[in-house]
């Protein structure tokens, strides 16, 4: 194991971006230039380090986030390469939960795209400082100024442009560093070597204009820089660097780097930027946890402090068994010691600790505060669990994930396949919190749900290849939700009289609609002990169980206030199970009289098309109940921004390619749930009942 890196020299960072912006290629180049690999992998050739799954290499996309550790100029950089496709947003969510900083990669051709905005908002939510890397500057159609403009307009942030390009498109061959006031020329055809020179005379005027803009932007957000700027009319490189770092750490502004990862240009300077501007664990400072009494505890990144590590990902390795990926926030996790999983209250021994290099691993004796790693063979330590000291239980904040929006039915062909299927699905659900399993008793089918068609396609592919499951697969279906439109009150009783003690539970519930996104809220409104307090949790549990199957088509109910307003009990016969059953009855009766309706997932979509096909593409949007929100022109290409129901977008890729002669593309991210129009709801119900 290498010597321990000081905390101020550790960078826990991730690459986040729209699909095909170049995250994996950039990661490959960083691994090469830091000496971790001796040849550069290529996404097209399927030989990259971080995309090691068969499904990733076949499709040329990232599916699972990979963790890599490398070293640059005395800094230890722990990198998480995340997927760009919206179907794998859970991988981005859990990565951002444990990262200190991120690099947002944008394509110099497309600029800020739909998923770029989505991951930016995710990073905002987790308060992760970012730098921006404009990639593909060598591509035909790339535009540095247009991309910077799209950052300002679409992300609504202040970019700090620290580099500008020398040359454009296939003539892109260097960058001007506006902080150091030098040019870096990549005249080596492979792009691995560069010459540091004075700024070319023909670019001096433009460079001065951009440097003045940088100094003004920095002076706007930093007091030291403002003071120096007012006094001297310029800002030295040293002061500029300090000011840019402070602005970045507080997410006031965001440094912008440029390059071409595929051509190896700009990578070394990006590595310098990661070390110069992104935070260390010390910069991120304290994190909040709770003790066993529910009191808030502040944890510093101190290797000698109380142990607190968050499991942010679980995967199954064919050689190492279950791998629990962790971020240690405080204390030191040591091999051979006993620890506590505070979520399950289980004591477990740490048998093996690993530093990760994608699918390769290095055994280590300890993982200290501020570092990332993995525990091998730790059972039941799932995503969101806290690993802590047995003598000092702590609870770190859990990780929240979006709900699945697409489902398919799967029916194994034989009993052997049924067993294989059950084993595989349990493993997948442990690895992926956005993958859900449900058994439909009416049809005897297993329903699996995920974040999109591609998500489920990958799951099914793994079922067939890795586990040899043979099964009948249904067509993808939208994962609707149900809600109510009015207030309703209902009574539920469960009374059974058998020999000895009987069963008695009696509740009166009122249900009413709630603001979107609030789930099920339970409130006890009873007074005077009409129902003893020990039975209230069972009544709430009964309502929540009943909410899993709505009255319209059995989809989960959402956004409902459930109020317990009355009831009664028997001093001898009342029990928790009796009140749970009575509550379930009352809830189901109430929601069936409260104007139940279906909610459908609405997607925020971006459709890219040559301008001469614009009219036909807009027609496909409106015919699918979509609403056009904006149109952006970029050269001969048009970007249509719209909101559109997910149910209408199955197989849209084929339709779009046909209309645009193969030149159109689209991407979409989940936006919200909205009420299904009545006529459409009736049609959905008839289809479900087999009437049409």
Locate 71 and state its tokens: 């070293």
Question: Is the confidence at residue 48, as pLDDT, over 80?
Answer: no
Lowest mean pLDDT among 99-113, 206-220, 656-670, 671-685: 656-670
Cβ atoms of 48 and 68 closer than 8 Å:
no
Instruction: Give me the helix-helix angle, 453-466 and 415-431, nearest 10°.
Output: 130
pLDDT at 56: 47
Measure the CA–CA gap between 95 and 401, rounded to whole angstroms. 12
Question: Is the confidence at residue 516, as pLDDT, over 80?
Answer: no
pLDDT at 190: 64
pLDDT above 90 covers a percentage of the chain that reads 50
Please provide residue 434's backbone torsions phi and psi, each rounded to the nearest 5 degrees.
-95, 0
Q: What is the mean pLDDT of residues 556-580?
A: 92
Mean pLDDT, the chain, rounded, equals 87
Q: What is the mean pLDDT of residues 626-632?
A: 92
The whole-model pTM stands at 0.77
pLDDT at 2: 41
Q: Are strands 520-524 and 254-258 parallel, antiparallel or unpaired?
A: unpaired
More confident residue, 250 or 191: 250
Closest C-alpha to 7, from 343, 391, 280, 384: 280
Cβ atoms of 458 and 466 closer than 8 Å:
no
Question: Is the confidence at residue 302, as pLDDT, over 60?
Answer: yes
Measure the CA–CA gap between 89 and 96, rounded to whole angstroms. 11
* pLDDT band, very low/low/confident/very high, at 247 (cuts 50, 70, 90): very high
Question: Is the confidence at residue 51, as pLDDT, over 50?
Answer: no
pLDDT at 377: 84
pLDDT above 70 covers a percentage of the chain that reads 91
Measure the CA–CA gap between 629 and 466, rounded to whole angstroms. 43
Q: CB under 8 Å, gap of 24 or more: what pairs does 165-173 form?
A: 165/137, 165/258, 166/200, 166/203, 168/137, 168/142, 168/143, 168/144, 169/138, 169/139, 169/140, 169/141, 169/142, 170/138, 170/140, 172/137, 172/138, 172/142, 172/260, 172/265, 173/265
Closest C-alpha to 270, from 194, 321, 344: 194
Question: Is the confidence at residue 157, as pLDDT, over 90?
Answer: yes
10 Å Cβ neighbour count for 282? 17
pLDDT tens digits, residue range 3-15?
Answer: 478 999 999 998 8
pLDDT at 572: 85
More confident residue, 83 or 138: 138
Question: Is the confidence at residue 657, as pLDDT, over 80?
Answer: yes
Question: Is the confidence at residue 253, as pLDDT, over 90?
Answer: yes
Lowest mean pLDDT among 62-76, 274-288, 575-589, 635-649: 62-76
More confident residue, 445 or 137: 137
Q: Which residues contact 452 (CB under 8 A, 6 or more apart)?
A: 85, 86, 87, 405, 406
Cβ atoms of 407 and 460 closer than 8 Å:
no
Q: How far is CA 157 from CA 84, 165, 256, 459, in A?
A: 21, 21, 12, 37
pLDDT tens digits, residue range 447-471?
Answer: 888 888 888 888 888 888 888 888 8
* pLDDT band, very low/low/confident/very high, at 46 (cuts 50, 70, 90): very low
| H-type alpha helices, 189-236 | 204-221, 223-232
Lowest mean pLDDT among 149-163, 310-324, 547-561: 310-324
Q: What is the 3-state secondary structure (H, E, C) of 251-266?
A: CCCEEEEECECCCCEC
* pLDDT band, very low/low/confident/very high, at 318 (cuts 50, 70, 90): low
Q: What is the mean pLDDT of residues 242-268?
A: 93
Q: CB under 8 Å, gap of 24 or more: what pairs does 614-618 form?
A: 614/638, 614/640, 616/659, 617/656, 617/659, 617/660, 617/664
pLDDT tens digits, residue range 174-184?
Answer: 999 999 999 99
pLDDT at 320: 67
């Amino acid at each position: 194991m290498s010597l321990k890196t000081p905390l101020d020299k550790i960078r826990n960072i991730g690459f986040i971006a729209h699909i095909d912006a170049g995250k994996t290629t950039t990661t490959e180049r960083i691994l090469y230039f830091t000496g971790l690999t001796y040849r550069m992998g290529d996404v097209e050739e399927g030989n990259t380090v971080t995309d090691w799954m068969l499904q990733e290499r076949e499709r040329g996309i990232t599916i699972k986030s990979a963790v890599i550790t490398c070293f640059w100029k005395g800094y230890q950089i722990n990198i998480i390469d995340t997927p760009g496709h919206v179907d794998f947003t859970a991988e981005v969510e859990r990565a951002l939960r444990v990262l200190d900083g991120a690099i947002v990669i944008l394509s110099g051709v497309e600029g800020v795209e739909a998923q770029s905005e989505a991951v930016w908002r995710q990073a905002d939510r987790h308060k992760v400082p970012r730098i921006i890397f404009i990639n593909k500057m060598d591509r035909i159609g790339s535009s540095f100024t247009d991309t910077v403009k799209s950052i300002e307009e679409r992300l609504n942030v202040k970019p700090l442009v620290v580099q500008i390009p020398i040359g454009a498109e296939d003539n892109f061959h260097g960058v001007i560093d506006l902080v150091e006031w030098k040019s870096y020329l990549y005249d080596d055809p492979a792009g691995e070597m560069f010459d540091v020179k004075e700024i070319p005379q023909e670019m001096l005027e433009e460079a001065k204009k951009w440097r003045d803009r940088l100094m003004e932007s920095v002076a706007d957000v930093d007091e030291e820089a403002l003071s120096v700027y007012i006094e001297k009319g310029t800002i030295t490189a040293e002061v500029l660097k300090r000011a840019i770092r402070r602005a970045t750490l507080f997410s006031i502004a965001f440094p912008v780097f440029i390059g071409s990862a595929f051509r190896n240009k700009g990578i070394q300077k990006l590595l310098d930027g990661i070390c110069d501007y992104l935070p260390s664990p010390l910069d991120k400072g304290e994190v909040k946890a709770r003790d066993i009494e529910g009191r808030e505890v502040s944890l510093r990144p101190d290797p000698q402090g109380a142990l607190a590590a968050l499991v942010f990902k679980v995967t199954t390795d064919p050689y190492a068994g279950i791998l629990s990926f962790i971020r240690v926030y405080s204390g030191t996790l040591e091999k051979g010691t006993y620890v506590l999983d505070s979520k399950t209250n289980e004591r477990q021994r740490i048998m093996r600790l690993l530093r990760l290099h994608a699918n390769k691993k290095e055994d280590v004796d300890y993982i200290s505060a501020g570092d990332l790693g993995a525990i091998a063979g730790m059972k039941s330590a799932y995503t969101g669990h806290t690993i802590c000291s047995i003598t000092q239980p702590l609870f770190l904040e859990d990780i929240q994930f979006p709900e699945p929006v697409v489902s398919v039915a799967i029916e194994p062909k034989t009993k052997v396949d049924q067993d294989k299927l059950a084993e595989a699905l349990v493993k997948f659900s442990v690895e992926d919190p956005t993958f859900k399993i449900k058994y439909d008793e009416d049809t005897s089918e297993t329903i699996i749900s995920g974040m999109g068609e591609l998500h489920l396609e990958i799951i099914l592919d793994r079922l067939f290849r890795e586990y040899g499951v043979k099964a009948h697969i249904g067509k993808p279906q939208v994962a609707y939700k149900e809600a109510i439109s009015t207030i309703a009150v209902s009574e539920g009783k469960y009374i059974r009289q058998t020999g000895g003690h009987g069963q008695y539970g009696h509740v009166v519930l009122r249900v009413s609609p709630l603001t979107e996104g609030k789930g099920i809220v339970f409130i006890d409104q009873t007074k005077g002990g009409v129902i003893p307090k020990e039975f209230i949790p069972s009544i709430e549990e009964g309502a929540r169980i009943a909410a899993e199957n709505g009255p319209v088509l059995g989809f989960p109910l959402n956004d409902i206030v459930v109020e317990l307003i009355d009831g009664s009990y028997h001093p001898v016969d009342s029990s928790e199970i009796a009140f749970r059953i009575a509550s379930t009855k009352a809830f189901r009766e109430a929601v069936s009289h409260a104007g139940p309706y279906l909610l459908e997932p609405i997607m925020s979509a971006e459709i890219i098309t040559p301008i001469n096909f614009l009219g036909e593409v807009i027609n496909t949007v409106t015919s699918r109940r979509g609403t056009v929100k904006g149109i952006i022109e970029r050269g001969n290409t048009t970007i249509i921004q719209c909101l559109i129901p997910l149910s209408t977008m199955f197989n849209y890729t084929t339709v779009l390619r046909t209309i645009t002669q193969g030149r159109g593309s689209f991407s979409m991210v989940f936006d919200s749930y909205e009420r299904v129009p009545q006529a459409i709801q009736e049609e959905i119900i008839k289809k479900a009942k087999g009437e049409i």
